[in-house]
């Protein structure tokens, strides 16, 4: 089952939170309008980025995608969506099943699809995921048997949570933040472990929401400390004769275990640029080593968007 799913996932996945709500630390323009959203989806599909990531909790993202697909029937992307549980559902397995079934059906209706290739549980940043992981496999199995999904998985925030899913075959896919400033999953060998057990790994936050592109005067006061690292990133990218975007992208692309990079884009130009970045050169080993030394120990409050003060 997972092999069939894996064979259809493209190496790049279009993240679509940006299409459903105002998102991103560098975002000046808010949410793109429906027409721009459709242009972004069309350009992704035409450039071969046919895996799209959405969620019931990304504002109108699923509706934008559903609307696009209704009016553009020649495209058949692979749409991954996510659901959440209420606190009550986490204490009551029967309710957990009901909530999952209801949300998946709502997602399918909004997307105009009969089945989701992959459904992820959308973890909240403060959630104790042990309880989630104790009930998620059974619910994924049920949704699979009902024909509503092909495979289940989870979207995580913290590297420490990876260990809990390694031995769960029903949790076939995982989405995680990983980028040149956040090397925890590489340092603690979690990426190798995920690769060894054959999990489908979606790497998000490759640009840390766009933080890498901010100049010092645009940084919020709580993140002023990051200016030093952004400057060091520019210096390393210069030495590698790459743009910062290429450096950030190549860094994640070349990590063992990454099945697909989930990138966000606010406009068509960024989609095109990011597809080019996928084909860009690798970071020379010596400069990659330097990146490990310089960025290997950055404060969690900088590398975790969920902990940024707005």
Ligand X SMILES: NC(=O)c1ccc[n+]([C@@H]2O[C@H](COP(=O)([O-])OP(=O)(O)OC[C@H]3O[C@@H](n4cnc5c(N)ncnc54)[C@H](OP(=O)(O)O)[C@@H]3O)[C@@H](O)[C@H]2O)c1
Q: Give me the residues that bind ligand X (CB under 6 A), please.
A: 15-18, 24, 26-27, 53, 122, 155, 175, 204-210, 213, 245, 262-266, 270, 273-274
With residue 203 as reference, give the H or E element that holds it.
Answer: strand 200-204
Q: Cβ of residue 136: shortest distance to ligand X, in angstroms?
A: 14
Query: In terms of CB distance, is 152 or 264 closer to ligand X?
Result: 264
Phi, psi of 288 (to 5 degrees): -60, -40
Contact 44, 16 (CB under 8 A): no
Q: Which residue is nearest to ligand X (CB)?
A: 15
| C-alpha span between 201 and 153 (Å, rounded) | 10
CA dihedral 164, 168, 174, 177 (to 10 degrees): 10
Q: Cβ of residue 151: shortest distance to ligand X, in angstroms?
A: 16
Query: In terms of CB distance, is 242 or 245 closer to ligand X?
Result: 245
Query: In terms of CB distance, is 15 or 37 closer to ligand X?
Result: 15
Task: List strand residue ranges (DSSP E) for 73-115, in order.
Answer: 78-83
Query: In terms of CB distance, is 145 or 267 closer to ligand X?
Result: 267
Q: Cβ of residue 265: shortest distance to ligand X, in angstroms?
A: 5
Q: Cβ of residue 128: shortest distance to ligand X, in angstroms?
A: 16
Burial class (CB in 10 A: 0-12, 13-18, 19+), 56: middle
Query: In terms of CB distance, is 183 or 274 closer to ligand X?
Result: 274
CB burial string 60-84: b at 16+ within 10 A, e below: bbbbbbbbbbeeeeeeebbbbbbbb
- Beta-bridged to residue 173, according to DSSP, are 153, 200
Q: Cβ of residue 15: shortest distance to ligand X, in angstroms?
A: 2
């Amino acid at each position: 089952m997972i092999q069939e799913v894996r064979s259809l996932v493209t190496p790049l996945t279009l993240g679509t939170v940006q299409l459903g709500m105002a998102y991103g630390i560098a975002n000046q323009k808010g949410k793109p309008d429906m027409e721009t959203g459709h242009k972004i989806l069309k350009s992704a599909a035409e450039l071969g980025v046919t895996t799209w990531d959405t969620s019931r909790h990304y504002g109108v993202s699923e509706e934008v995608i559903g609307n696009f697909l209704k009016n553009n029937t020649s495209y058949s992307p692979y749409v991954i969506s996510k659901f959440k549980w209420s606190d009550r559902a986490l204490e009551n397995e029967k309710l957990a099943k009901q909530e999952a079934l209801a949300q998946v059906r709502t997602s399918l209706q909004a997307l105009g699809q009969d089945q989701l290739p992959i459904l992820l549980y959308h973890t909240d940043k403060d959630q104790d995921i042990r309880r989630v992981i104790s009930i998620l496999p059974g619910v994924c199995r049920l949704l699979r048997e009902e024909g509503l999904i092909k495979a289940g998985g989870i979207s995580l925030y913290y590297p420490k949570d990876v260990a809990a899913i390694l031995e769960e075959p029903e949790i076939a896919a995982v989405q995680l933040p990983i980028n040149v400033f956040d090397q925890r999953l590489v340092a603690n060998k979690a990426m190798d472990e995920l690769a060894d057990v054959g999990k489908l790994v979606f790497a998000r936050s490759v640009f840390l929401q766009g933080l890498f592109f901010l100049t010092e005067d645009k940084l919020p006061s709580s993140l002023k400390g990051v200016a030093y690292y952004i400057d060091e990133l520019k210096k390393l990218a210069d030495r590698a004769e790459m743009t910062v975007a290429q450096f950030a992208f190549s860094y994640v692309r070349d990590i063992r275990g990454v099945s697909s990079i989930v990138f966000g884009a606010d406009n068509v130009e960024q989609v095109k640029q990011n597809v080019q970045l996928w084909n860009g050169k690798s970071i020379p080993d010596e400069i990659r080593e330097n990146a490990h030394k310089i960025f290997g120990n950055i404060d969690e409050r900088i590398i975790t968007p969920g902990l940024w003060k707005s």
